[in-house]
Structure 1
Amino acid sequence: MTPRDPVKTQRNREIAELTEQINALKEKVLRITGYRNEQSLNATYGGKHSQYIDIKHEIIDSPEQFIALYLRGFLDYLHDLGSAARLGNPYFDAHAHIKDSEVVKKWFRLFLTRTYLRQFDALARKRPEVQEAEIWIGQKNASYGILVSPRFRRGAWENDKSEIRHFKSNYWTIGHILETGFVIPDEDDRIEFSSVEHYLKFFRQTLVRNSGSQHEMEVARRYCSFVLASAKPLDVPLLIPELRYGGKSVRHDYRLDFTIIDPFTLKKVGFELSPWSTHGRLEGTQKKTQKQVNEEAQANFEREMRKLKAYFRKQGIPIIVYTDTDLEDYDAIFQEMAAYLSPTRKAKQLEFHAMNDFLAFKPGR
């Protein structure tokens, strides 16, 4: 049985406490505002947050920020009403109730705080755009897809757009892959995993071993140990091997050795293990002049750099390259990677003056 998340347990406790406080004020608020019932009251305020806040793009880290954004959006709407902002207009009346009554103002804060906590998982993270909610990995005849809300339609895998925002796990983490598994290109089939250990075995023995790189295997071993030692292994970002430049297309110019996607910002960082034996070694140098050797070595180097630059330009992915000297110390390499495997949510500066500005609103003539 999966252990309970103590953070979610605490959040549920706070929601229950807020509900008690809201219920204690409910009858007074209904008398003051004149709404027929609790449903009408809740619809007037709670049903509007998606109208006032760009919830598709905002990453909202706290109830205070949620309330501030709500108030900013509500205030903008009131200004846009112009001369229609007067008694009898439902938006103007809703504003007046908050402005004129400390009881309604208190209820309003409690209500929006509870709304935020109830929708925390959807509001407190960036949601990938549809085109960003699908990645493909692996080699030509052994590729797999990772989607957010996968469904098989008309002979191909796609995301159910309506479900991307409601995805339960943090995007591109161990929890993500346990929820969705890998999809098989153009087949109504998946590879699913029953546990963290099950996925890590597949990651190490199938995904990474197929590359034939001892360097990648050493990194993979350290990643598996890192995940298993984590207090919250489901929240650890995936170490994605062989991210495909061109998606699932067969023709493929380049793949990154490893990629990590921050589950909160969705920013990617790539890692290339580039020993001289793979990308720079020259054959048959005995019959070549030094000039020819230098020119050929330079051409090889420039070709590899062009690939990296193309990846960066087209995908917006910064890439960290490890060469022979770096590859002498796998622990040091993984220590650098581990910094990207331990992302933290960073709260935005709160708009402390939002309520004052909101209450100071005066209708235009």
Structure 2
Amino acid sequence: MAARDPAKTLRNQKISALTEQINALKNEVLDLTEFTSELSLNATYGSKYADYIDIKNEVIDTPEQFVALYFQGFLRALEGLGIFARKGNATYDAYLHVKNHKKVREWLKLFLNRTYLRNYEALSKARPRVEEAEIWIGQKNASYGILVTPRFKNGQWENDKSEIRHFKPKYWTIGHILETGFVIPDENDRIMFKDIDGYLSFFRNTLVRNSGSIHELTIARMYCEFVKNNPEPLDVPLLIPELRYGGKDVKHEHRLDFTVIDSYTLSKVGFELSPWSTHGQIASTKGKTQKEINAEAKANFEKEMKKLKAYFRKLGIPIIVYTDNDLANSEMIFSEIEQYLTPSKIQKKLEFQAMEDFLSFKTPEL
């Protein structure tokens, strides 16, 4: 008789516990939403996860990540409604139930957690794609590429596709960059590093210092110390500055200050250090009161943040934004980034950020 899988047994136990909690809330949620049956309720929310999440390509390793991606997808669907985001539209009505009723939000999170656990094997299985094996970073005229199995062919860098799956270091880690180095676009040349210290020096003094941001440089220093003090430094994910999400040749609307790619799931999370001086600039203050200046600066900042978040939602990349109050405490910021540099830690902040953005959705003006 085959031995039971203890991990699967634990998941089944969690599924049973979640089912009890869901059933305890069911009648109240039906009353609040005015659905006639549990089947209709589940169809409205539960069956939508395949529409809201790219489950064919997304690798999801925690329930929290699943919930975050669900609400990001739900928000994209709302934004796609345009002027039809009004009562009477099924998607918008479903949104109102979640926004207006804490019990519905509680039920939905439990339901999504159970959905994830029931589909764990399919949702968490790594499925590397060729396009995920090539990233480019930096400004247009100072960019570098990180590939998995780089080779220079016909005047361009590409991956040896047949070898990607056999790559020994963990993807997008310190070990990865020591193995491949950086490739120079359109030239048969690479920047290689003899050891960890050599890479960290280049990371801090060339890649990050070039941005001119004291906040980014502070975080870079903390990252270097984190790597040096880590018992397994080769397995630490790269803290990637200014990743070009569309590749080396695409004009970018935005580049995030830092990005971390989970070496197991290949999921990305971005970090934006956004002081008012960068995103709240005012063209002219002449003839304006201090109150008017503050209001205009705040509006400029909120506009820039909205554009930034919308851009990366389209790419399915969660971002965490740190503003002036946060930037006064670099240790706090890095302690949060550190969670994503230790992939085994549960990523709860993503879920919080996604829910916050979702609940702040506003219908467009007619």
Q: Tell me, yes or no, if the aligned pair for 1:282 and 1:297 is still in contact at 8 Å.
A: no
Tell me which moved more, 242-251 or 291-300: 291-300
Alignment partner of 1:141 is 2:141: yes
CA separation of 1:223 and 1:250: change in aligned 2, threshold 3 A: same
Q: Structure 2 counterpart of 1:322, which letter?
A: Y
Instruction: Name the residue aligned to 1:321.
Output: 321
Give the corresponding residue for 2:239.
239
CA distance in 2, matches of 1:321, 1:186: 34
- Displacement, 1:58? 12
CA distance in 2, matches of 1:143, 1:58: 27
Letter in 1 for 2:314: R
Q: Give the letter for the 1:227 counterpart.
A: V
2:139 aligned partner, one-letter code:
Q
Please state how far the C-alpha of 1:128 moved relative to its aligned partner.
2.2
Q: Quick one: which amino acid aligns to residue 132 of structure 2?
A: E
Shift of 1:252: 2.3
Counterpart of 1:3 in structure 2 is none
Q: Give the secondary-structure state (helix, strand or coil) at the position aligned to 2:251.
A: coil
Distance change (3 Å), C-alpha of 1:187 and 1:219: same
Work out whether residues 222 and 334 of structure 2, in 8 Å CA contact, stay in contact via their aligned partners in 1.
yes
Aligned to 1:265: 265
Deviation of 1:280 after TM superposition, in Å, equals 0.6
Query: Is 1:312 aligned to 2:285, yes or no?
Result: no
- Distance in 2 (CA, whole Å) between partners of 1:57 and 1:326 is 34
Contact 1:174 1:234 (8 Å CA) reproduced: yes
In structure 1, the residue matched to 2:287 is 287
- Tell me, yes or no, if structure 1 residue 166 matches structure 2 residue 166: yes
Distance in 2 between residues matched to 1:322 and 1:293, nearest whole Å = 19
Residues 1-365 of structure 1: pairs in structure 2 closer than 5 A: 126-249=126-249, 251-288=251-288, 294=295, 297-314=298-315, 316-344=316-344
- Structure 1 position 299, deviation (Å): 4.2
Q: Name the CA shift for 1:293/1:344 in 2 (closer, same or farther; >3 Å).
A: closer
- Report how far residue 231 of structure 1 moved: 0.6
Work out the percentage of aligned pairs sharing the same amino acid.
Answer: 63
Q: CA deviation at 1:241?
A: 0.5
Larger mean CA deviation between 302-311 and 253-262 belongs to: 302-311
Q: Distance in 2 between matches of 1:231 and 1:164?
A: 27
Deviation for aligned residue 1:266: 0.9
Larger Rg over CA atoms: 1
Runs (5+) with no aligned partner, structure 2: 1-55, 62-123, 347-366
* 2:244 partner letter: R
What is the distance in 2 between the residues matched to 1:335 and 1:296? Answer: 29
Give, in whole Å, the separation in 2 of the partners of 1:339 and 1:58: 20
Work out the CA distance in 1 between the residues paired with 2:284 and 2:175. Answer: 49
- The Cα of 1:133 is off from its aligned counterpart by 0.9
- TM-score, normalization: structure 2? 0.58
The aligned residue for residue 16 of structure 2 is none
- RMSD across aligned positions (CA): 2.6
Q: 1:334 to 1:216 in 2, by over 3 A?
A: same
| TM-score normalised by L of structure 1 | 0.58
Code of the residue aligned with 1:305 in structure 2: it is K
Distance in structure 2 (CA, Å) of the matches to 1:192 and 1:223 = 20
- Amino acid in structure 1 at the alignment position of 2:171: Y
CA displacement at 1:288 relative to structure 2: 4.1
1:245–1:253: 8 Å Cα contact kept in structure 2?
no
Count of residues paired in the alignment: 227
CA separation in 1, counterparts of 2:301 and 2:223? 31
The Cα of 1:127 is off from its aligned counterpart by 4.8
Partner of 1:355: none
State the alpha-carbon separation in 1 of the partners of residues 226 and 343 from structure 2: 14
User: Shift in Å at residue 311 of structure 1?
Assistant: 1.7
Counterpart residue type for residue 312 of structure 2: Y
